[in-house]
Structure 1
Amino acid sequence: MYDLQVRRRALAFLAEGHSLNATSRATGVSRAAIREWATHGPEPSSTGRAPLRTDGPAYPYLLGLYLGDGCLSRGRRGVYALRIACADSWPGLISACERAIHAVRPGGSVCRAQQQGCVQVTACSKQWPAIFPQHGPGRKHERRIVLEAWQQPLVDAYPWEFIRGLVHSDGCRITNWTTRVVGGELRRYEYPRYFFTNKSEDILTLFSDALDLVGVQWKVTRRAGRPYNVSVARRASVALMDLHIGPKH
């Protein structure tokens, strides 16, 4: 049984672009084991449960939700509770969060806990810290938040899912308006735009890097009371966001 550090080291080496053969030679780990970790995540399953799955689109989406409105809480016997806060206003988001958790943790239970104005979508596992290594003490905007070497290829493979998770947690699609004088007449014009707001500069960077990857133009803006914003307002970029993300529901 390889320990978790060996597993992560092998996946980091693989993420740097080395082949399975080269990674196996460098780490002394079989190619079959490395392939299994790359598909299902590095966390060993000592409980007989299926390992958490990070190989599909559900994981980048859930990662985005976690970075925005999620937390891990350690309970008894090393079991962690993953909690994602979803506003009551968006029942579709609550259901999407549940589906993503079920896809990442097959066979596990997911429950909803009603709070004031939101639902805490909750699931428990000893394995959560392994696939959410951004977990740590203190608030996210007060500590370093970066993707591990094994996480980046997963986000790169499904950038829209990652963006969707971030937008569904800390983003919105709104309609702005402005006025112009045309032919001596004052006219009102409306146009849609997307905002993503987060106090963590690192999470803002992860979001903007993902936008760069899919060709969406963005800029940093400052709104009253919300100085930490990434805005998408260019018509072509908004159209891309509408195609892949759309308004929350």
Structure 2
Amino acid sequence: MYDLDTRQRALDLLRQGVTNRVVAQQLDVPRGTVGWWRHEDRKRRGEPFERTHDCPRCAPRPFDRRAYAYLLGLYLGDGHIVSKTKQHHLSIYCGDAWPGLVDEAEEAMRKVMATPSTGRRQKTGCVEVKSYTRHWTCLFPQHGPGRKHERPIVLEPWQQEIVDTYPWELIRGLIHSDGCRVTNWTTQFVGGQSKRYAYPRYFFTNKSEDILKICSDTLTAVGVEWKITRKFGDPFNISVAKRASVALMDTHIGPKY
């Protein structure tokens, strides 16, 4: 369907590093056809295939560290990585009640690595936001077999440096994933009458003591007072209830949306 001149022009562009998508647009050729031409050209020249990626750990390059700090918080809270022979993706689970969180999660993935494709999968009560590449394991070395609370979770020095630079973004990610802002109330007798008082507070809930410590250490670093609540004797919640600390959290985080 296409003459040799068109095919050769496509191969010249591909050999210069132009992506399949751009070549297809420039020459008005289906993307699948361009991909086949590239495959045949590589095979003929004996060139090994290497999937295109923009992993900042494998090919050191500047990347959006602020977005990474937020994405790290999402991953530590409600994220996981599938890394199998033919399946590699990062998944972040976001509640249906917060469509803005779904958009932010996908945007953060694209800011950190723009090349991998992303997608959304509707599940009962939540949306699974995915980004497909094996290189997410490079950026989240905490990945491993089993659940996070059943294995050590320790930040690498380069991750800690990013968290130290953008602590509020990590906290936002943690609260947006496994946390919440709620309004509690209590009653007190004043002048013989019962009065109701409402006050906001933040919670972060996670079974991993290591992740709870990452959260509490970061809160301390930004001047937020917190306390641990326990469930069956084990650390379970980080609670922020002091008025000044809640106000500070409201300035940088606020409710999910």
TM-score interval for Structure 1 and Structure 2 normalised by the shorter chain: 0.7 to 0.9
2:115 & 2:190 partners in 1: Cα distance?
61
Give the structure 1 partner of residue 93 of structure 2.
85
Amino acid aligned to 1:218? W
- 1:67-110: CA deviations, max 9, x gaps? 11111112335x52101111111101000101100101113321
Shift of 1:224: 9.3
1:128 & 1:136 partners in 2: Cα distance?
12
Give the structure 2 partner of residue 17 of structure 1.
none
Amino acid aligned to 1:74? S
1:175 & 1:222 partners in 2: Cα distance?
20
1:200 & 1:227 partners in 2: Cα distance?
8
Amino acid aligned to 2:251? L
Give the structure 1 partner of residue 67 of structure 2.
58
Shift of 1:226: 9.4
CA 1:227–1:210 in structure 2 vs 1: closer, same or farther (change >3 Å)? closer
- Which of 130, 133, 148 aligns to 2:138? It is 130
Shift of 1:51: 2.7
Structure 1 gaps, min length 5: 1-45
Shift of 1:182: 1.0
CA 1:108–1:171 in structure 2 vs 1: closer, same or farther (change >3 Å)? same
Give the structure 2 partner of residue 73 of structure 1.
82
Matched-pair contact (CA < 8 Å) for 2:70–2:169: yes
Shift of 1:223: 6.6
Give the structure 2 partner of residue 14 of structure 1.
none
* Aligned residue runs from structure 1 range 106-125, under 5 A: 106-125=114-133
TM-score w.r.t. length of structure 2:
0.75
* Aligned residue runs from structure 1 range 199-210, under 5 A: 199-210=207-218
2:143 & 2:69 partners in 1: Cα distance?
15
Structure 2 gaps, min length 5: 1-49, 57-61
Give the structure 1 partner of residue 228 of structure 2.
220
Once superposed, what is the RMSD of the aligned Cα atoms? 1.9
1:227 & 1:140 partners in 2: Cα distance?
15
1:135 & 1:227 partners in 2: Cα distance?
22
1:159 & 1:152 partners in 2: Cα distance?
9
* Aligned residue runs from structure 1 range 184-195, under 5 A: 184-195=192-203
1:94 is aligned to 2:102? yes
1:248 is aligned to 2:252? no
- 1:4-27: CA deviations, max 9, x gaps? xxxxxxxxxxxxxxxxxxxxxxxx
- 1:191-217: CA deviations, max 9, x gaps? 000000000000000000110110000
Matched-pair contact (CA < 8 Å) for 1:75–1:81: no
Matched-pair contact (CA < 8 Å) for 2:225–2:245: yes
- 1:162-188: CA deviations, max 9, x gaps? 000000000000001111111111100
Give the structure 2 partner of residue 237 of structure 1.
245
Matched-pair contact (CA < 8 Å) for 1:55–1:154: no
Give the structure 1 partner of residue 51 of structure 2.
47
1:109 & 1:237 partners in 2: Cα distance?
39
Amino acid aligned to 1:91? P
Shift of 1:54: 4.8
Greater gyration radius:
2
TM-score w.r.t. length of structure 1:
0.77
Give the structure 1 partner of residue 166 of structure 2.
158
- 1:33-92: CA deviations, max 9, x gaps? xxxxxxxxxxxxx63432346542100100110111111112335x52101111111101
Moved more, 132-141 or 47-56: 47-56
- 1:86-136: CA deviations, max 9, x gaps? 111110100010110010111332100011111110011121111100000
Deviating 4+ runs (over 6 angstroms): 223-226
Give the structure 1 partner of residue 32 of structure 2.
none
